[in-house]
A and B are shown apart, each in its own frame.
Chain A
Amino acid sequence: MSVHPALSVDGLEVSLGGRPVLRGLTFTANPGEVTALLGPNGAGKTTTIRVMTGLLPVGAGTVEVLGRPAGDPAALTRLGLMPQATGAWSGIRPVELLRYLASLYTRPQPVDALVDALALGSFLRTPYRRLSGGQQQAVNLAGALIGRPEFVLLDEPTAGMDPHARRRTWALIRALAGAGVGVLLTTHAMDEAAELADRVWIMDGGRITISGTVADLTAGASLEDVFVAHTQERS
């Protein structure tokens, strides 16, 4: 097991087009735990994920993914990313996408077993663009797990899923953490964060406004109340 945190973000500052988006963002995620990063739209969650994968440069501060600098190819191989929307060619079939992604790794998950576990069988040969939002998310989740990652980034993992798929995904996320995988979850579903997260970080305006375990944060109010109290609505 790694001695490093799965993710360490310290004093991260990033500006886009001259506008500061992340302003001293500091948080961590550990192996074998589910960490929820919550924030309203525009809080900087997607920018944070893009910095973690090396798509955006670090302006100031440090970001270490699995003990390596953000964007380091050795870390990217050990990472699983489930994007919030799409993330696949419109004409590709799920079975083609999963076999292709599996071929990039030395010890991938068996595609058939992954298909069974995530109940993808009924739309395996349907072009990606014709899948429902929930089906696309299920395929994206399979894609994030196929390389047997040490750390997974799940961006709104259950958006658009029906209750059955949602429950299955929750069970899978718990099982991932149980197997030692670090999980970073971004979601707008407070019940999802409350149900799954070992630790919650709430961000707004590019920095963390409050953090703690779900039990700590919800001692006197619901997680949604805490979220509303520590973030601002944007017009």
Chain B
Amino acid sequence: MSTTFDGLDLSPAPGAAPRGRRVLRHAAVEATLMVRNGEQLILALVIPFGLLIAGLLFGERVGLDQTVFPASVLGLALWSTTFTSLAITTGFERRYGVLERLVATPLTRGDLVTGKALASGSVALGQVIVLTIAAFALGWRPEPAPAQIPIAIAAGLLAATTFACFALALAGRLRAEATLGLANLIYLVVAVAGGLVIPVAAYPAWAQPAVGLLPSAALGETLRALASGLVDPFPLVVLAAWLAASLVIARKAFRWTS
């Protein structure tokens, strides 16, 4: 019996590629699709870039702190990629059956989650680099204390992972369209009311304790402390607690199929 068809050898010869290659290839595909998506690019770069320009060129007129504002924008960019973009992407992956399709390949669930994390992390890192360069070009001159730098890096990682867990929980429960709408709404609410862009001290006194305990505020305050030369490790405690909770929630809520 022939085992060929139009030059194809159809005889079975399955075998899984090494894990590192699987994860990297998956991350590359996801990152490429994220960067190619125009709507996500608006969230990732256009809005933060517009805020930077407005804030650094005209913010002084309304009393905006020119040293800490760009740090807040970096926090916003991290939030948009690791929560909003990831939630929307994953919601449509479920809707389009991508996750269901990939199950029947050598890509394990661990590979998929790791690849997704690498993709989001790479895009977020690219955003931070581009926006930081832009902010410097626009005249930003932060004054970081060396001890705050590792704190800020740790806070970025903890916050990104926490936001990603919430993104997966949202995308894993709702229909893709509902995820799209809600993720954008939450993006705006957290940006305005979550202590991410606006320093916690600027909120009414009665709201400050609650706002200060949000993961978004913990990230924002850490980055603002970095820009203004302060050292404040307390937000790491807040973020670590949120990360533990978000991991449990994502694990319980996420579903692979729609």
Contact between A87 and B7, CB atoms less than 8 A apart: no
Kindly provide the distance from the CB of A84 to the nearest chain B CB, expressed in whole angstroms: 8
Is A179 part of the binding interface, using a Cβ–Cβ cutoff of 8 Å?
A: yes
Query: In the complex, A181→B2 CA distance in Å?
Result: 12
Given contacts A76-B105, A91-B37, A148-B12, contact A104 B17 (CB under 8 A): yes
Kindly provide the distance from the CB of B168 to the nearest chain A CB, expressed in whole angstroms: 16
Kindly provide the distance from the CB of A220 to the nearest chain B CB, expressed in whole angstroms: 32
Query: In the complex, A45→B93 CA distance in Å?
Result: 22
Contact between B8 and A114, CB atoms less than 8 A apart: yes
Q: Which of these, A88, A105, A175, contacts B10 with CB under 8 Å?
A: A175
Give the chain A neighbours of B92 by CB distance below 8 A: 89-90
Interface locus among B65-73, B96-104, B234-242: B96-104
Encoded as 1 (CB less than 8 Å from any B CB) or 0, chain A from 78 to 106 comes to: 11110101111111100010001101111
Is B25 part of the binding interface, using a Cβ–Cβ cutoff of 8 Å?
A: yes
* Total interface residues in chain A, CB < 8 Å: 49
Query: In the complex, A148→B107 CA distance in Å?
Result: 15
Is B146 part of the binding interface, using a Cβ–Cβ cutoff of 8 Å?
A: no
Residues in A193-226 with C-beta less than 8 Å from chain B? none
Give the chain B neighbours of A76 by CB distance below 8 A: 103-106
Is B5 part of the binding interface, using a Cβ–Cβ cutoff of 8 Å?
A: yes
Kindly provide the distance from the CB of A190 to the nearest chain B CB, expressed in whole angstroms: 25
Contact between B101 and A81, CB atoms less than 8 A apart: yes
Contact between B12 and A149, CB atoms less than 8 A apart: yes
Contact between A117 and B7, CB atoms less than 8 A apart: yes
Contact between A83 and B101, CB atoms less than 8 A apart: yes
Give the chain B neighbours of A171 by CB distance below 8 A: 5
Query: In the complex, A77→B111 CA distance in Å?
Result: 13
* Total interface residues in chain B, CB < 8 Å: 42
Interface-central residue, B1, B10, B12, B97, by most chain A CB under 10 Å: B12
Is A130 part of the binding interface, using a Cβ–Cβ cutoff of 8 Å?
A: no
Contact between B1 and A80, CB atoms less than 8 A apart: no
Contact between B36 and A91, CB atoms less than 8 A apart: yes
Kindly provide the distance from the CB of A186 to the nearest chain B CB, expressed in whole angstroms: 14
Kindly provide the distance from the CB of B43 to the nearest chain A CB, expressed in whole angstroms: 16
Give the chain B neighbours of A83 by CB distance below 8 A: 97, 100-101
Residues in A49-98 with C-beta less than 8 Å from chain B? 50, 53-55, 73, 76-81, 83, 85-92, 96
Contact between B11 and A53, CB atoms less than 8 A apart: no
Kindly provide the distance from the CB of B161 to the nearest chain A CB, expressed in whole angstroms: 23
Is A150 part of the binding interface, using a Cβ–Cβ cutoff of 8 Å?
A: yes
Query: In the complex, A29→B249 CA distance in Å?
Result: 39
Is B251 part of the binding interface, using a Cβ–Cβ cutoff of 8 Å?
A: no
Kindly provide the distance from the CB of A165 to the nearest chain B CB, expressed in whole angstroms: 14
A96: nearest residue on chain B (CB-CB)?
B29
Is B108 part of the binding interface, using a Cβ–Cβ cutoff of 8 Å?
A: yes
Q: A55-B256, A79-B104, A104-B16 are in contact. List 6 more A-B contacts (CB 8 A).
A: A53-B103, A86-B96, A87-B96, A104-B105, A107-B14, A145-B8
Top 10 A-B pairs, shortest CB-CB distance: A81-B104, A106-B15, A87-B101, A179-B10, A179-B3, A175-B5, A117-B6, A150-B12, A78-B14, A148-B13
B residues with CB within 8 A of A: 1-17, 21-22, 25-26, 28-29, 32-33, 36-37, 92-93, 96-98, 100-101, 103-108, 256-257
A residues with CB within 8 A of B: 50, 53-55, 73, 76-81, 83, 85-92, 96, 100-101, 103-107, 109, 113-114, 116-117, 140, 143, 145, 147-150, 153, 171-172, 175-176, 178-181
8 pairs, CB–CB < 8 Å, chain A vs chain B:
A55-B256, A106-B17, A113-B7, A113-B8, A172-B5, A179-B2, A180-B12, A181-B12
